[in-house]
Structure 1
Amino acid sequence: MRHARSDRALDLQIHLSSVRIPQLSDPDDEYYWCVNDLELDKFSTKHTWEFLRPRGPVQDWTATVWFKGSVPRHAFHFWVTQLDRLPTRTRLASWGLPIDQSCCLCGNALENRDHLFLRCEVSQHLWSMITRRLGYRTFTFHTWTAFIAWLGSNRPSHSTTLRGIVAQATIYILWYERNNRLHNSISSSPAALFKLLDRLIKDTILARRNMKSFNGLLRRWLAFS
């Protein structure tokens, strides 16, 4: 064996040197899997994964991020946004980068999550068109907490599934527009963004028209157009 490079490696070598070499007359070896003090007859991927990555408590906002019929890339992006892990300008500046922290959409305030997606004049204009299309009176979101509460509310006259796919698509499109302005110097008006969103929502509903939760959703989306 090679020379040990650590005390733990040395202890292992000492232990191996003390183990008796197996003989042909010895009975066959037996093995078993032990996961979290639980002896198993065979390897269990589920038990091993649960032990290596213990589950945390279920969050109240889980259903607004992961629901049946959501667009995977929109849901993943919304999850990262919910955790406030997007590289907004204020977040990049907190890492020590010497950058301008003003909003890429309006330039009138610091670019953080709540401002970029809810309080910016561009996002507010887009949200006003969206809420009217969903059958609400025009209103604004002041905090991300209020936005998540709105998504999780249950009203018989409004579809939770439609509200979810529209909200996730809107957050995705606003981030796309932010990056397009920042990296490509190309900007679109709120009306153009809504047109893109409208096409995206229609395609999403048509692709899932055989799912029970999407039955009649296109009619609801077009009811106030």
Structure 2
Amino acid sequence: MDILSKLLDKGARENRGQGPKPKFCRSWIWKSLCKLRLLARPFVVCEVGSGLTASFWHENWTSLGPLLHLTGEQGPRVSGLSVDAVVRDALVNNNWWVHSFRSRNPIISLLKNCLPDPQAIVSSEEDDQFLWQIGRIPKHAFLSWLIALNRLSTKDRMRNWGLSVSPTCVLCGAADESRQHIFSDFVYGREVWAFFFSAVHLSPPPLVMDVIRWIKAPTQDSNINLILKLAYQASLYMIWKERNSRIHTQTSRPAASLIQEVQRLLRAKMDILSREQRNLPSTVTFLSIWRLHFNR
């Protein structure tokens, strides 16, 4: 389990009074990460073991998102299961408590259809685990959140903090460094991620925040969309890594080198994702799509 997944687990326990409150933590880094819990939560799924930790209503443990989002606030009231209940609390006599209901209330019907086979949970002695959703590379996704929030230590922000640093971008040596310049305006950064969009004949919008919104569904093919999201996040990560490398080690690489590294990373990721598609009826895999469009 990585650091943000642990934070979500910790946050769930704190909300139920099972752990220390964040205010007792003195670390600035830890407090900053705690503030990102709400941003991170949509990207984390819960793999239920014994069901003793995972929140029944708030965690994404059925692959449908938090059940409270499906039922609305009436879910706990109509079903009689407390909003603070854990998954294990919803089991009665080795079955889900709602299966004894004869009510035709649509919320009850929805829950009956959403809940998985309870036997694995009944017999499990494993702890619940919080995992990143399939498809995301955590360090790439994390940096993308920081970019979306404009929280990176770009030189324009550092100067706004009162630090005496040169405003010049280390990648181009000409323009002032900012989020927009590094990741979109300057040809070096744009060349890296544009390589993958051009493979499927797409032209993203010019502003960084517009791209972040657009990348959620740039095509009607969900498989291509996922690959493009991964490629874009990996490109942002490599561009920022290259920027820091030039500052701290005085070494540099051409954009083509970054593109090749992103290709190697995503090729390995496509192999993993394709193996997880083996039991699906579709014969189109992420790896086959990658080879068709992006393996240039």
TM-score w.r.t. structure 2 length?
A: 0.52
Corresponding position of 1:88: 154
Give the 5 Å matches for 1:206-221: 206-212=271-277, 216-221=285-290
CA contact (8 A) 1:102 1:109 kept: yes
Residue correspondence of structure 1 range 131-142 to structure 2 within 5 A: 131-133=197-199, 135-137=200-202, 139=203, 141-142=205-206
What is the identity, as a one-letter code, of the residue corresponding to 2:237? Answer: Y
Q: Which residue of 1 is the match for residue 230 of structure 2?
A: 165
Q: What does residue range 1-225 of structure 1 map to in structure 2 within 5 Å?
A: 45-48=14-17, 67-133=133-199, 135-137=200-202, 139=203, 141-153=205-217, 155-157=219-221, 159-212=224-277, 216-224=285-293, 225=296
Q: What is the distance in 2 between the residues matched to 1:220 and 1:48?
A: 47
Question: Alpha-carbon deviation of 1:96?
Answer: 1.1
Verify the 8 A CA contact 1:119 1:141 in the aligned structure 2: no
CA distance in 2, matches of 1:156, 1:85: 31
Note closer, same or farther for the CA distance 1:172–1:84 as it changes in structure 2 (3 Å cut).
same
Mark the runs of 5 or more structure 2 residues left unpaired by the alignment. 1-12, 23-33, 44-131
The separation in 2 between residues aligned to 1:188 and 1:172, in whole angstroms, is: 14
Alpha-carbon separation, structure 2, partners of 1:116 and 1:123: 6
Aligned partner of residue 124 in structure 1, secondary structure:
helix
Aligned residues of 2:140 and 2:234 also touching (Cα < 8 A): yes
CA contact (8 A) 1:177 1:188 kept: yes
Q: 1:109 to 1:78 in 2, by over 3 A?
A: same
- Using the TM superposition, give the Cα deviation of residue 117 of structure 1 relative to its aligned residue in structure 2, in angstroms: 0.9
CA distance in 2, matches of 1:203, 1:71: 12
Cα deviations by residue, 1:23-49 (Å, 9 ceiling, x for unpaired): xxxxxxxxxxxxxxxxxxxxx644238
Higher RCO (C-alpha 8 Å, min separation 6)? 1
Contact 1:152 1:160 in 2 (8 A): yes
Residues 164-203 of structure 1 show CA distances to partners (whole Å, capped at 9, x for unaligned) of 1111111100011111111111111111111111111112
Q: Cα RMSD over matched residues?
A: 3.0
Identity %: 25
Give yes or no for contact 1:124–1:140 (8 Å, CA) kept in 2. Answer: no
Deviation, 1:222, is: 2.4
The answer for the alignment partner of 1:33 in structure 2 is none
Partner Cα separation in structure 1 for residue 233 and residue 211 of structure 2? 12
CA distance in 1 between counterparts of 2:180 and 2:18 reads 35
- Alpha-carbon distance in structure 1 between the residues aligned to 2:218 and 2:165: 42
| Secondary structure of the corresponding residue to residue 180 of structure 2 | helix
Structure-2 change in CA distance of 1:218 and 1:112 (3 Å): same
* Alpha-carbon distance between aligned partners in 2 of 1:90 and 1:70, rounded to the nearest angstrom: 29
What is the number of equivalent residue pairs in this alignment? 175
Moved over 3 A (4+): 52-56
Work out the CA distance in 1 between the residues paired with 2:242 and 2:144: 15
Give the number of the structure whose alpha-carbon radius of gyration is greater.
1
Cα separation, 2, equivalents of 1:211 and 1:49: 35
After TM superposition, give the deviation of residue 154 of structure 1 in Å. Answer: 5.2
Can you give the 5+ residue segments of structure 1 that lack an aligned partner in the other structure? 1-43
Q: Do the aligned partners of residues 77 and 222 (structure 1) sit closer, same or farther apart at CA in structure 2, a change above 3 Å counting?
A: same
